[in-house]
Amino acid sequence: MLFNRNSAEPAVIIADEVRVGASWASVTPPAEIQAAPALNLTRAGNPSVLSWTTNAPGFLLEATPALSDFNSWAGVIAPVYLIGDQFVVTNSAAGASVFYRLRKP
Per-residue pLDDT at 40: 93
Give me the average pLDDT of each 10-residue run along the chain (105 residues): 66 75 84 78 82 85 86 88 90 78 87
Per-residue pLDDT at 51: 93
In the chain the domains, ranked by start, together with CATH numbers, are 32-103 (2.60.40)
Question: What's this model's pTM, rounded to 2 decimal places?
Answer: 0.62
CA 41 – CA 93 distance, rounded (Å): 11
> Could you say which DSSP state residue 52 is in?
E
In the β-sheet with 81-83, what is the strand arrangement from edge to edge? 40-43, 47-53, 86-92, 81-83
Per-residue pLDDT at 86: 92
Per-residue pLDDT at 36: 74
Closest CA to 35 of 58, 56, 52: 56
Those residues whose C-beta lies under 8 Å from the C-beta of residue 96, and which sit 6 or more positions away, are 65
In the β-sheet with 74-75, what is the strand arrangement from edge to edge? 74-75, 60-64, 99-103
Per-residue pLDDT at 2: 61
Per-residue pLDDT at 91: 79
Per-residue pLDDT at 88: 92
CA 68 – CA 66 distance, rounded (Å): 5
